[in-house]
Each structure stands twice: as C-alpha cells, then as structure tokens.
Amino acid sequence: MQKDRLLAEVGFASLIKKGEELCGDKVNVVPCEDSTIVVLADGLGSGVKANILATLTSKIAGEMLKHGALIEDVVQTVAETLPVCKVRGLAYSTFTILQAYHDGTVYLVEYDNPPTFHFKGGKLTPIAHSERLINGRKIKESRFLADRQDAFLFVSDGVIHAGVGGILNLGWQWDNVAEAMERFMQRDPTAEAAAHYLTETCEHLYCMEPGDDTTAVCVKFRRPAPLSVLIGPPEDSARDEEVVRAWYAPPGKKVVCGGTSANIVSRLLGSPLQVELPAEPNAEVPPTARMEGVDLVTEGVLTLRKALMALKEYAEAEGFPRDIRGSDGAARLLRLIKEATEVHFHVGTAINPAHQNPHFPADLNIKLRIIDEIAMTLRRLGMPTERTLY
C-alpha cells in the first residue's frame, strides 16, 4: 500500500420536500481502483418523477465515468436517455460530479447545480473552472491537485432556497452558506458531520417543513485507514503463525472473530485474553474480550451474522447511520468498519464442529457465505474489501 495515497471520505444527507415520499435528489458513490466518483443529481420537480430522473442520471454518469467514458459521452447519453420537460422545456436533471483520485487529482464537473464549495484547511478557496457547451448545455469543468487539507461541499438548490419567503426573504444565499460552513469546517469535522450539519440547518430555516428537496454532499481527503479482520483458524494448523503474521503485520486496526482464532492469536502474540462481561447481557451477541495489541475480539458467526443484518439495513438506506449505537461485539465491529477506508478479511477454512449443530440457524452452517455477504454488502456501501482464505 502506498504511503502517500489519499482516499475520499464521502458523507451526504438529504431532506425530502414536504408532502413527498421520495427525494428528488440522488447521490451515487462509485469506488474505482484509482479514484472515487461522487455524483449528485437533482431531478426536475419533486416526488417520484424527480427521483427516477435523478437516479438514472446519477447511475449513468457514475458507471460511464468508472469505465473511462468522457464527460461529452456522459452528457450525450443522459440527454438521449432521459426526457426533457415538454411543458417547461427544462433539462431532465442537473448534476455535480467529483472524481477524487488517490494521487490527489480532482476532476469536477458541474451542470446547473449551485457552485461547489472548496475548503482548504477550513478556509473557503475559489475554484477556477472552464466552460464549454456539450449538447447545448453549459458545462463547467475543473482539474487540480488537492491534499489532506482539502474538503469539497456540493449541494442541490434546496440548500440555497432554504428559508425563502419565510425566515429569509430571498433564501439562504450561496455566500451565506459559504460563511456558515467555513466556520464549521474549521473544526475539522468528518464529511458525514459536515453534510448533516448543513441539512439540519436548512431544515430549521424551512421551519421543519422543507419547501424543496435538499441535499448536501461533502468529500474530504484522508489517509488510508485499513481494517484487518481475522475469522477462524486455517485448515492446516501448521499455518497458524503464517496466518497471524499476514493479518497482524500490515498497518491499520485489528479485529479477531471467534474463540479459537482468539486463542491462537493470544498464544502467538503472548497477550492474555480477558473476557469482558457486559453490564446488560445480550442474548443475540456473545460477550467480547480484551487482548493487548488487538482493537476488538468477538465471538464468531453469531456476531458476524448480527453485523451482516445491520449492514444490509444500512445498504437499503444507502449509507451508514450517523451514529451506530450499542456496546455489544456487533455494534463495536460496525463502528470500526465505518471508520475504515478498506476492510481485509483473513478467513480460516477449518471446520468448526459447533457449526454442525442442528440447533444453530441454517445460515450459520457455512461461514464463508456470511463473509461473502458482508463483503458484498460493504461494496454496495462503497467500502473496498478483500478476502484471503487459508
């Protein structure tokens, strides 16, 4: 892993227009080998139609750019695929696209959304851009280098309309948003905290009744924060030391799942294992343990199954929750995963006799299936994963 590699931390939050069930804005985060693509699309109008337009726009743009398409091809494809309003003659969807490369290069494309806010070290910094017409649409493009001090905030027009005709006659103008967010960004918040702060402020300006779909997306550069999870002993016990070394040697936080694995690690690291008895026992998730040099020690399949159920809920909601509550092993594992930039599963393939017990749920009989489902769900959430079998 390159030490100078930068990764994009993405956070976003939305408000749905009062009276509607679906948001007319859509955010699509597409992880690539060399970059992360983030698309914010704002569909025409509100409700179901706007949601469909925004969803199609964000998916088309994200997938085409991921596979190397030029922005001209993206705009043309979106224009030919989605309809234009016959009554108002307006475009299908406005959009902002930011592609953050691991070397710090940023490619920004804007079409009719409010201008992107760029903060460096918490200070608002102007973005130089060029303009050109593509399929009759004025597209703004920017390319530049960023570093760990850089953060980008892009929004749908519901943000700068917040309070219009109510608390603020003309709404919350771009300069007002910039001033408020500059103060907030100097606290060095997470990307998620910045997005939520902005939409919560807008909700109050709307007097808790949003007059428009409102979305904020924040992208911050950060250093890699890998998480390595060891699950189960290897098929050949002679490989115990090799497996523990492969799991423990790379940088990042460490998790052990499973009693047998924990005992192997304890023996090889020379770190005693101490069981933590919870104040409130959880019938679904067994207790965790402490071991010096390891960030979390949990039971195996029951804990992983509980974590998988939560991850599926997060994927349906299209993002991790702002706060992951709970003190059991599954909740603590989920918090470590959320903080990570990538997860590597080291999976032993030895058969655990306990999993053949007919009293265990059927979906626990195959450990690999649980790990594969977790990895697949994490990828849906934009989290890169790897799996190594032993």
pLDDT band at 1 (very low <50, low <70, confident <90, very high): very low
Q: Are 297 and 288 in contact (CB under 8 A)?
A: yes
Q: How confident is the model at residue 78 (pLDDT cuts 50, 70, 90)?
A: confident
Residues 210 and 248 in one domain: no
Q: Report the CATH number at residue 207.
A: 3.60.40.10
Same domain, 317 and 244: yes
Q: Domain count of the chain?
A: 2
Give the Cα separation of 129 and 115 in Å (integer).
11
- Does 103 fall in a domain? yes
Q: Can you tell me the distance from the alpha carbon of 298 to that of 74, in angstroms, rounded to the nearest whole number?
A: 46
Examine the fold and report which residue of 176, 199, 222 is the final residue of a domain before the chain moves on. 222
Output the pLDDT for position 262: 96
Please tell me the distance from the alpha carbon of residue 344 to that of residue 331, in angstroms, as a whole number: 18
Q: Among the listed ranges 127-136, 259-268, 365-374, which one has the minimum average pLDDT value?
A: 365-374
| Structural domain that includes position 385 | 226-389
pLDDT digit string (tens) for 268-321? Answer: 999 999 999 876 776 789 999 999 999 999 999 999 999 999 999 999 988 888
> At 2, is the pLDDT very low, low, confident or very high (cuts 50, 70, 90)?
very low
Quote the tokens at residue 117.
């806010």
**Residue in the block written with tokens 């596979």:** 67
Is position 1 within any domain? no
Give percent above pLDDT 90 in the chain. Answer: 72
Is 41:57 a contact under the CB 8 Å cutoff? yes
**Which pLDDT band holds residue 361 (cuts at 50, 70, 90)?**
very low
